[in-house]
A and B are shown apart, each in its own frame.
Chain A
Amino acid sequence: MSLRTPLARAQGLGSAKSGVTHFWRQRATAVALVPLTLWFVWTVARYTGAEHFEVKHFFANPINASLMLLFVLAGLYHMALGVQVIIEDYIPREGMKLALLLLSQFAAFAVAVICVLAILRLAL
């Protein structure tokens, strides 16, 4: 016999009150990142050693700029979710865990903003 109320069961949010949200977003970004990653690896191999004008030319193409924006946003979101799990798994002390969780989320957003701004400056 379950002691959970019918409402709690119907909502399906579990004891952490967030249900499968984290799990689902991790998977959704993972699926999006499969093709983006293949494209990105090619871009790294082809353009990180390239001359500056070549890189400018590459990002002047809106398709390339859009793909890079998608990769950065999906990738950093996926990263924030993943690092969160690592911290929750290995840091038992509440205070330290909270501090590292905040730090990792702030860092993810900061890197995202920096990358987006740089891509826009290159593209526009």
Chain B
Amino acid sequence: MAEHKSAARPMSPNWQIYRWPLSMGVSILHRVTGFGLALGTLILAWWLVAAALGPEAYGTFQAVAYHWFGRLILFGFTLALVFHMLNGVRHLFWDAGFGFALPTANRTGIAVYGLTIVITWIIWALAYHSMGKL
């Protein structure tokens, strides 16, 4: 043990060669979406303030928000919000002591990914349907 051999190979787990477990990706995405949503509150504040100021200020917001790129950002914002919410529920179950078994955690992780897309899509479809645009 006295002589320390320095190996040239990378130490494990080295993220560049390490195959990401599913839970790792979900966990990182939870934090990334959380931080993104924090920045997204500025869009929410802009929407509310513009609406409160009147039709003129609101028109500026609407022009940006209703542009295809604006709607893409808003769709991404809601996608991040739904993901963070669903994975948050997964965390609450863990906090209560359920779902720790690896196969279960993998299944719920995949379920979070799938449900995020399904639920966000359904809500937008319902909203556009109620506007008579679908």
Asked if A82 is at the interface of the complex by the 8 Å CB criterion, the answer is yes
- B residues 27-82 near A (Cβ < 8 Å) are 31, 34-35, 37-38, 41-42, 44-45, 47-49, 51-52, 54-55, 58-59, 62, 65-66, 71, 74, 77-78, 81-82
Report the minimal beta-carbon distance from A88 to chain B, rounded to whole angstroms: 13
A49, B66: Cβ atoms under 8 Å?
A: yes
User: With the chains together, A111 CA to B58 CA distance in Å?
Assistant: 18
Of A42, A56, A68, A82, which one neighbours B38 at CB under 8 angstroms?
A82
**What is the interface of chain A, defined by CB distance below 8 A to chain B?**
27, 30-31, 33-34, 37-38, 40-42, 44-46, 48-52, 55-56, 59, 68, 72, 75-76, 79, 82-83, 86, 111, 114-115, 117-119, 121-122
**What is the interface of chain B, defined by CB distance below 8 A to chain A?**
31, 34-35, 37-38, 41-42, 44-45, 47-49, 51-52, 54-55, 58-59, 62, 65-66, 71, 74, 77-78, 81-82, 85, 88-89, 91-92, 95, 119-120, 123-124, 126-128, 130-131
